[in-house]
Amino acid sequence: MGDRIFLRDLRTETIIGIYDWERKIRQTVSFDFEFPGDIRRAAKSDQIEDTLNYKSVAKKVLAFVESSEFHLVETLAEEVARLILREFSVEWVKLTLNKPGAVRGSRDVGVMIERSRADLDLP
């Protein structure tokens, strides 16, 4: 099956960056997520317990990111992927992290990663 659940443009502010001025302000970051999921059970039952509750994912990610102070978007992306895989019953996550305005002349910069439970040695 190829069912997917996605969450696009989840935005928040955090301290992120390597320059002194970046360590003193909160900057906007945005995330796109994709998760595997066989949605047939949820479609049949029409119950949130039978699917990935993307609102719960969003709340957990926002709380984590808003309290973080990483230097690199690479580190933030890795730690968010680890959080999702540890806290939710998904086999893998695709994550795009955007840092708008980080490079003059570009809309945004960032990273795209894919991580699985096996990658992170999670049961």
Residue 115 has pLDDT above 70, yes or no: yes
Dist. CA 108–CA 98, nearest whole Å: 6
pTM of the predicted model, to two decimals?
0.92
Residues identified as active-site: 99
Question: What order do you get walking across the sheet with 27-36 strand by strand?
Answer: 4-14, 27-36, 92-100, 108-116
pLDDT at 120: 76
- CATH 1.10.3720.10 is right for the domain spanning 4-116: no
Task: Give me the residue spans of the domains in the chain.
Answer: 4-116
pLDDT above 90 as % of the chain: 84
Q: What integer is the mean pLDDT of 32-53?
A: 94
Least confident of 13-17, 19-23, 111-115, 116-120: 116-120
